[in-house]
Structure 1
Amino acid sequence: MELVQQFEDAVASSKSLSERPSNDTLLQLYSLYKQASEGDVNAEPPSNPFDFVAKAKYEAWEALKGTPKEKAMQDYIDLINKLRG
């Protein structure tokens, strides 16, 4: 249960980072959060080929397919800690 609490704390602290992370880092945070909270991608890919943001989010999450929720939580925590310095 300690990992879940650390993950929730990291999610909360992600909203108060001193600097906005790069788009690549934001995409990594998004995909790790989705994998940790929902597991493997469970939606269809975006149907609009020009919705680049949705496509990037989907592909980033899909790339983590098979990653255990616990590992995704730990990776998210580690990334937030790195961003916080």
Structure 2
Amino acid sequence: MSDLKKKFEAASASVLKAKKDPGNDMKLKLYAHYKQATEGDVKGDKPGFTDFVNRAKYEAWGKLKGMGPDDAMTAYVKLADRVTRED
């Protein structure tokens, strides 16, 4: 397993244990970068207008279209570091 993959997995575990709520904007960024790193570009139909939460997630992930998995993992680790540092 690569060093980046280990850092990514450690960061995703640390985010789940964060004591302080990072806020919705940060949660969306974390979600989008995690999905981009693990699944690649956004897939499926865009959720309906009334499904606010899933639509926001879909759109956040869609903004990262074309970003490679290593870049997404690196960005996720940096975001997670900010979240856990603020605890």
TM-score (norm 1): 0.94
Q: Unaligned regions of 5+ residues in structure 2, if any?
A: none
How many aligned residue pairs are there?
Answer: 84
Structure 2 residue 46 is matched with structure 1 residue 52: no
CA distance in 2, matches of 1:31, 1:13: 17
1:43 shift after superposition: 1.4
State the partner residue of 1:29: 30
1:21-71 Cα shifts (integer Å, max 9, x gaps): 11000000000000000000121111x220011110000000000001101
- Specify the alignment match of 1:67 in structure 2: 67
Q: Once the 2 structures are TM-superposed, how far is the Cα of residue 18 of structure 1 from its aligned partner?
A: 2.1
What percentage of aligned pairs have identical amino acids? 44
- Structure 1 position 11, deviation (Å): 0.6
Residue 65 of structure 2 aligns to which amino acid in structure 1? K
TM-score, normalised with respect to structure 2: 0.92
- Kindly report the root-mean-square deviation, in angstroms, between the aligned alpha carbons of the 2 structures: 0.8
